[in-house]
Amino acid sequence: MHGLTSGRDPTTVRRMGQRPTVVLAMVPAFAQEVLDAELLDRLGEVCEVPDPDPLTTFEEPRAHELLPACDILLTGWGCPTVDAATLARAPRLRAIVHAAGTVKTHLGEACWQRGIAVSSAAAANAIPVAEYTLAAILLANKRIFAIQRRYREVRGFRWWPMEFPGLGNYRKTVGLVGASQVGRRVIELLRPFDFRVLVHDPYLSPQEAGALGVTSVDLDDLLQRSDVVSLHAPALPETHHMLDRRRLALMRDGATLINTARGWLVDGDALADELRRGRLEAVLDTTEPEILPPESELYDLPNVFLTPHVAGAMGAETRRLGELAIEEIARFVRGEPMRFEIRSADLARLA
């Protein structure tokens, strides 16, 4: 972990006793959500904030004034790319704290090569994603999505366990693909329930699986055994369409696929074929492309519960991102290790 005590000269951040300067870079609408007046005041207690309005490009006139004095860059959704040219204009920059999830879209290797500490609020964003996933798992095993459709049709009494044999959550098998921050949070949320939890993750050791209270299995085995499969793997070259036509065919008839990760992970055409046949159910918060064209059948298939990438922090939940980011900045200023620092070696495994 890095901080002011880990080889960085404190005078580069606290010059002549002055407080470090923070510059914001993100979409203004997001800044208003993630950093309310109280959080800005809290940030102002530990740092100088010369301009609370975020930069949206590093080429605007304000950037030429703010970057040379910037010690800490507080970024968020819509932050422009921090490349070598930008770094050259920010000689005092020692930390970049991202008040959102992935840093791959706006930070390059040059940041780590210069020794800049990088932190992300991905752990805070994982909380609502895991909550969404838990809700989807419980509803899927209860067959609520299908029962709701059927109830709308019959508008009367039915003995629902006969129409939907095996409905319910007791001792069902849940398969999680990826022991990521979200995946591990889902594991925590599943503990009070009587589930068998399988996990596939090539980086998960048997010892870690045992400590988490889950069973580590290969992907094919997980797909064959699970009543619900939930995806929490990063979008990497090796995970592209990891659920292809062959693997989707391994899933049990009537099983539910939940995707709150990335559409990248699933062969969309193969999944559409399975859904069109009615063999599987799906809860899809992410698709490929991210915004489906208006003619996509996924909008209308009765066995698809489709949402527009809202599982992550939205509305009131975004404040949690701001709180985490400011806590990280306060630690850095005090010379303490940041809790959620991202090292260059971690990038290959992260979303």
Catalytic site positions: 262, 288, 309
Query: 94 — phi, psi (to 5°)?
Result: -125, -15
- Confirm if 295 and 303 have CB atoms less than 8 A apart: no
- Structure-derived torsion over alpha carbons of residues 98, 102, 104, 106, reported in degrees to the nearest 10: -40
- Confirm if 295 and 272 have CB atoms less than 8 A apart: no
Residues constituting the chain:
351
- Confirm if 42 and 22 have CB atoms less than 8 A apart: no
Using alpha carbons, select from 113, 122, 59, 55 the residue that is nearest to residue 89: 59
Using alpha carbons, select from 186, 179, 228 the residue that is nearest to residue 204: 179
Side-chain-facing half-sphere of 44: CA atoms under 13 Å: 11
Burial class (CB in 10 A: 0-12, 13-18, 19+), 160: middle
Query: How far lies 208's CA from each of 71, 189, 213, in Å?
Result: 38, 17, 9
Cα distance between residue 131 and residue 350, in whole Å: 20
Tokens at 173, concatenated: 């098998």
- Confirm if 97 and 328 have CB atoms less than 8 A apart: yes
Do the strands 256-259 and 228-231 form a parallel or antiparallel pair, or are they unpaired?
parallel
